[in-house]
Structure 1
Amino acid sequence: MNDKNFKPLPVQLSNKLIAEIKDGNSLFQKPVKENGLPAFVKPINPTTGKGYSAMNALILGMERHDDPRWMSADAARYAGTWVKKDETGTLIEFPKTNDIQAIRTADGKPIKNDQGVTQTKTVEFDKPQRGQAFLFNGSQLKDLQPLAEFLKKQNEGQTLSPVERAEKLIANSMAVIIHGGQEAYYDKQRDAIFMPEKEEFENETKYYQAAIHQLAHWTGHESREKRPMEGKFGSLEYAREELRASIAAILIGGELKIGHNFGQQASYMSNFVKLFKDEPFEIAKASRDAQKAANLLLGVNPKREQKQGADTAQGFKKGDEIAYMDTTYKVLETYKTKSIKVEDAAGTRKILKPEYGLYNSLLEAKYNPREPEMAEEQGQEQEQGQEQSNTYKVGR
């Protein structure tokens, strides 16, 4: 993984999303596969029963397998199954808090016991390190429990249908939903969701899919997740929020097994592509925010996040040195406008304004070094438009 040509995982994911959007077959555009099944199937580790957090879930879900099970080759072997010949794994990242290392002598030789087995010790890290693993889908493994049996066992005890689960999630949110009109949207100023009457939709499922998407926007209100939601329709800031709500709706739809459908997304796709191209690490930030939104609506209580300066204003100071992509940027000057002058390792200097993609990427890299790409495995139960900065819409 130290190959200079190896691109960070968020960059790989952004590039793949750009290609899929241009081909018109991304998860945002095609929610159903040719076989009629949902395009996104919530990935799960069949041994631990745990799911994968947002960015990893996207990476795995974009492989379009119908089987939700994913395991590493080692985990599969321990479980009594093996990877089929010539199968290729899918790379994910996660935060490692420790590592198992060989115990060595003073001159570096490994110490072995009487049976010739190298002795090991567990080394705890001061802060999480970036771990990587290649996972294989259940369809890539042999001698695995038949999928139908696994799904039957997984669904044991679930008495509610996907529609009933969606209805319960909406009721539990206690969000204000006003019915009437022809469009589904969230109004931030009024902190209310506006929905057409249920009978206006093609079916119940599409009604709940649209409602869940708007609930994802609803989580961004200042009284909840407090996301920036000031962009006007068609702007990049608007697209950032739309991206977060879309990913959250994909995650929730996969959890409830109701799927997702955002209606006409053409108005967002060009801005999504621009975001992924100019700010490839935005997908990591958006996924992290989407995970919080999904957790809030699903009633999941994730482990307390470790954040540097979580309650303090984030910014730059003169002398900051920030590693980003394949270089290091040094902050030479800061200005009252919050703009900064930086110099990269090659000696190139430039002025960055707060609205620039590189500015925001450097800010993210400073306060969350390499963390945007480190998607943590978690157990989970797991807009047509007016130029209003506080209204988020999605077509039916």
Structure 2
Amino acid sequence: MAANQIFSDKVAEALIERIQAGTAPWQLPYEESLHSTLPMNPTTGRRYNGINAMWLSITQPNADPRWMTYRQAAEKGWQVRRGEKSTLIECWVFEKQEKDEKTGEKRWVRLDRPFWKPGYVFHASQIDGLPELPVPKHDWDPIERVEALLKESQADIRHEAGATPHYSLTKDRIVMPERGQFLDAGRYAATALHELGHWTGHPSRLNRSMAHAFGSPDYAREELRAEIASYLLGQELGIGHDPCQHDAYLGSWLAALRQDPREIFRACADAEKIVTHVRQFDLYQTQEQTQTQGVQKATTPQPQREHLEPAIARAPRVKPVLPTKAMGMSR
């Protein structure tokens, strides 16, 4: 069996087990902490994305988000302990080196057909000599950051007393209950980010297929994309994520995964596109670019030709506000 098929089946099997247990694929298997963030590589200062972000999140034994290859650890003077087993991830190669026939110089050429290759990484808990991960410091409020992002997006957000949160494709409008109907600002922010995820699907933005009947398999697939995106954004912005709103879709997601294990890969890829689109409205992104020691300063590194998926450095995180059941967030 091909390595990529083995990886797909392994990930799908793990996620199916979690869904059968009533757990959303992106729910963290460990207690949140001040370090909680998305899996990242401390040698590059970048986070893992796509399916790798979800896979490493549910695989890592604690809230330390740091993962790297054996070689990357060794180059820093750190040592993977003898007997430790690596974790398989997917990598895509987009370029190759070719020798210029005239000059004899080597140059990188973009491939017409990128190819998949396995990657093997180790968690920080498997590595000796790695500096302790300090508590991130920040001078911004996560709720204010989300509010500024929503305003900068210029999304049409209407507040109606008693309304169920939803996005109207025909009106290109987000409808939210009044702020006072939420138990706290974190719940409001998490709900708004979820709906903003749907908002990105409009033809004038990312142009996803959106016109689906409520409760249909295609509707559930769109919810899956918005949910993963809101989880990623919630972790990135420091407000956490509400794990309760997925209940109505667990059956649909389980059926989709059993039918096609690659569906979760496509959903994660689409969710990353949502995050990238929404991130352009984050005014705080360039204000705090210093990662903690072991999560290096987020300067722009040189392009890596063979990498563990493209990833983007993040601003420091704070302890997320993990909401309980928020009203109507599954729309």
Quick one: which of 54, 57, 63 aligns to 1:61? 57
Equivalent pair of 1:245/1:290 in contact (CA under 8 Å): yes
Q: Does residue 394 in structure 1 map to residue 320 in structure 2?
A: no
Which whole-Å CA distance do the structure 1 matches of 2:93 and 2:147 have between them?
A: 37
Aligned to 1:176: 156
Structure 2: give runs of 5+ residues left out of the alignment.
Answer: 99-105, 282-306, 316-327
After TM superposition, the score normalised by the length of structure 2 is: 0.77
Q: Relative CO higher for 1 or 2, CA cutoff 8 Å, sep ≥ 6?
A: 2
Picking from 2, 9, 27, the partner of 1:11 is 9
1:120-269 aligned within 5 A: 126=111, 127-148=113-134, 151-152=135-136, 155=137, 158-180=138-160, 181-269=162-250
Secondary structure of the residue aligned to 2:140 is coil
Deviation at 1:27, TM superposition (A): 4.1
Relative to 1, partners in 2 of residues 1:298 and 1:143: Cα closer, same or farther, differing over 3 Å?
same
Alpha-carbon deviation of 1:271?
A: 0.3
Q: Which residue of 2 aligns with 1:50?
A: 46
> Gapped runs of 5+ residues in structure 1?
102-120, 301-373, 383-392
Asked if 1:376 corresponds to 2:312, the answer is no
Q: Give the greater-gyration-radius structure (CA).
A: 1
Q: 1:131 to 1:6 in 2, by over 3 A?
A: closer
Structure 2: distance between partners of 1:275 and 1:60: 22
> Aligned with 1:394: secondary structure?
coil
**Distance change in 2, residues 1:5/1:263 (3 Å):** closer
Q: d(CA) in 1 for partners of 2:231 and 2:31? A: 19
The equivalent residue for 1:329 is: none
Quote the RMSD (CA, aligned, Å): 2.9
Distance, in Å, in 2 between the alignment partners of 1:44 and 1:234 is: 35
Identify the range of structure 1 (61-70 vs 240-249) with the bigger mean alpha-carbon deviation: 61-70
Residue 334 (structure 1) aligns with? none
Q: Which residue of 2 aligns with 1:82?
A: 79
Secondary structure class of the residue paired with 2:245? coil
The aligned residue for residue 25 of structure 1 is: 23
| TM superposition shift of 1:125 | 7.0
- SS in structure 2 at match of 1:263: helix
2: CA distance, partners of 1:6 / 1:231:
31
Alpha-carbon offset, residue 6 of structure 1: 7.4
1:186–1:193 contact (8 Å) kept in structure 2: yes
Aligned residues: percent identity?
Answer: 33
Q: Secondary structure at the match of 1:221?
A: coil
**Matched residues in 2 for 1:175 and 1:4: separation?**
44
Question: Which deviates more, 229-238 or 60-69?
Answer: 60-69
Residues 38 and 259 of structure 1 are in contact (CA less than 8 Å); yes or no, is this contact kept in structure 2? no
Q: 1:122 to 1:5 in 2, by over 3 A?
A: same
> Cα 1:298–1:125, aligned 2, differ >3 Å: closer, same or farther?
closer
TM-score (norm 1): 0.65
- Give the letter aligned to residue 221 of structure 1: H
What letter matches 2:22 in structure 1?
G
Supply the AA of the counterpart residue of 2:88.
Answer: L
Offset at residue 12 of structure 1 (A): 2.3
Q: Distance in 2 between matches of 1:230 and 1:87?
A: 48
The aligned residue for residue 289 of structure 2 is none
- Structure-2 separation of matches of 1:50 and 1:34: 22
User: Size of the alignment, in residue pairs?
Assistant: 285
Q: State the shift of 1:262 in Å.
A: 4.9
